[in-house]
Amino acid sequence: MNIGSRSWHAHAKINLALHVTGRRPDGYHLIESLAVFTRFGDRVEIALADNDDFVVSGRYAPEVPLGASNLVLRARDALRQAVGQERTPPVAIRLEKNLPVASGVGGGSSDAAAVLRGLAEIWTLDIDGTALARIGLSLGADVPMCLAAKPLVARGIGDELSMVPDFSALGLVLVNPGTPVSTAEVFAALSRRDNEALPPLPRSIDFHSLRNWLEITRNDLEPAALAMQPAIGRALSWLNKAGSGFSRMSGSGATCFGLFETGNVAKRAAAEIRGRQPDWFVAATRSIASEGADGQS
Ligand code: ATP
């Protein structure tokens, strides 16, 4: 990569709970979701260059579209259009694609968020978080939450964000059995869209109170995704067998997460699952704590 390049993390988004509460007349679904973001994710490297350039590396590079539909390029072009050509000189962007594609962890949205954050710095733009989130929303409903990348509750179409304070880092294992799932198809297959809102969060969030709270919540997309891809059930049972305190599918799947009391226990569980399912995507990681919260799990 060019001299002077810098890099930004594109975190995986994990929907710890996701309730589908309605549908707008324009077809967008209304949701309520508690989401966290993991240290494991993609990486975006950017440098000023003579000409615009875009390359993709990493395990999942072959599955990423390289043309104008890539959210990296859409984010670059949307920001350039918003602030003007003269302030946005050519850039070389490298995407290291570590997250499985179409897997319910918002990889594309998170890449777009990393590009917006990165380019705002590289181009030394005087642009605030609200303006960046507005541009992000034009690219996808999940981009504003990926820009925030801290524990939060998302409502509306996923763009109305309330940050959750005092939320420590969690030990997580992510497992994907290698079956891409179309978000649109999962939403289309829902049997009902008027489910109840999320219950109030515990006053003090720790591993045990969170687990109890998760037991009374759902991912409303899980039954439909499971019917389309039975391998999701196998991913969940491997997480349970490896000692997860709580396991569920994230987003529209097929990635599932397991909650572990410490990062070390998560690492051991991931090694065990990887040993049994060498072709699956398996990652032990920690979530990003909220501002001022204890970063240890
Ligand atoms: P969503 O819920 O937004 O569908 P997801 O995690 O299930 O998120 P992504 O990995 O973001 O899925 O991919 C969704 C679609 O976006 C894929 O069909 C893919 O072709 C397209 N896409 C465009 N740019 C990217 C990118 N940078 N990384 C991954 N997918 C991308």
Structural domains of the chain ordered from first start: 6-161 (3.30.230.10), 165-286 (3.30.70.890)
Distance from Cα 257 to the centre of ligand 1, integer Å: 18
Question: Which residue's CA is minimally distant from atom 14 of ligand 1?
Answer: 102
pLDDT for position 1: 55
Distance from Cα 101 to the centre of ligand 1, integer Å: 6
Interface confidence (ipTM) of the complex: 0.95
Distance from Cα 108 to the centre of ligand 1, integer Å: 4
Provide the residue-wise pLDDT of the chain in tens; the chain has 297 residues.
Answer: 566 899 999 999 999 999 999 999 999 999 999 999 999 999 999 999 999 999 999 999 999 999 999 999 999 999 999 999 999 999 999 999 999 999 999 999 999 999 999 999 999 999 999 999 999 999 999 999 999 999 999 999 999 999 999 999 999 999 999 998 999 999 999 999 999 999 999 999 999 999 999 999 999 999 999 999 999 999 999 999 999 999 999 999 999 999 999 889 999 999 999 999 999 999 999 999 998 887 644
User: Is 142 a residue of the active site?
Assistant: yes
Contact assessment for residue 173 and residue 284, using Cβ atoms and an 8 Å cutoff:
yes
Q: Is 279 exposed, middle or buried (0-12, 13-18, 19+ CB in 10 A)?
A: exposed
Instruction: Please tell me if the CB atom of residue 111 comes closer than 6 angstroms to any atom of ligand 1.
Output: yes
Contact assessment for residue 37 and residue 149, using Cβ atoms and an 8 Å cutoff:
yes
User: DSSP per residue over 251-273, as a string?
Assistant: TTSS-EEEEESSHHHHHHHHHHH
Which residues make beta-bridge pairs with 98? Answer: none
Instruction: Please tell me if the CB atom of residue 253 comes closer than 6 angstroms to any atom of ligand 1.
Output: no
Computed over its alpha carbons, how large is the radius of gyration of the chain? 19
Question: Which residue's CA is minimally distant from atom 29 of ligand 1?
Answer: 108
Instruction: Please tell me if the CB atom of residue 110 comes closer than 6 angstroms to any atom of ligand 1.
Output: no
User: Is 13 a residue of the active site?
Assistant: yes
Q: Find, among 16, 109, 15, 95, the residue nearest to 61 by Cα.
A: 95
Neighbour tally for 117: CB within 10 Å: 22
pLDDT for position 163: 97
Neighbour tally for 27: CB within 10 Å: 8
Among residues 142, 150, 159, 220, the one annotated as catalytic is 142
Judged by DSSP in three states, 119 sits in: helix
pTM to 2 decimal places: 0.96
Q: Please give the structure tokens belonging to residue 12.
A: 């995986």
In one-letter notation, the amino acid at residue 290 is: S
